[in-house]
Amino acid sequence: MPFVRIQLPAGRDGAFKSAVGDAIHDAMYATISIPEDDRFQVISEHSPAEFIYDRGYLGVQRSDAAIFVQITMKRGRSREQKRALYSAIAENLAKRVGWRREDVMVVLSENDPIDWSFGNGEAQIAGEDSEW
């Protein structure tokens, strides 16, 4: 159910993008209790003029190769799950594709089970209230 948008600097090839997608998905699977096949990700590339961020905000030393990860998911993850998620995304990206941990930004937005249709024009998880 999470819907994940990933923004990267332009120039990475398809294999690299796939590895980035895998690293992020596996981090989510490990930390926020989603089924392994609950995966929807979109990656977009941006030129330097289109990808603008401060190199030192909050004391984090960012390079020219940041990655922004926006995750929309239904409400209910605990603060500890979210902390574990951030840690696992940065860890997986560092280990698997060599991304600097300082360069990984993550933003979460939450909605409700009724706010999702996974195909066929149906609201498949609308009946859920407290579990996923």
Grouping H, G, I as helix, E, B as strand and the rest as coil, residue 109 is strand
What is the nearest approach in angstroms of a copy of itself to the Cβ of residue 6?
8
- Residue 104 near residue 89 (C-beta atoms within 8 A): yes
32 binds a copy of itself (CB under 8 A): no
Separation between Cα atoms, residue 120 and residue 97, nearest integer Å: 36
What is the nearest approach in angstroms of a copy of itself to the Cβ of residue 88?
7
Residues near a copy of itself (CB under 8 A) are 3, 7, 13-15, 17-18, 21, 25, 35, 37-54, 56-58, 60, 62, 68, 70, 72, 79, 82-83, 86-91, 101-111, 114-126
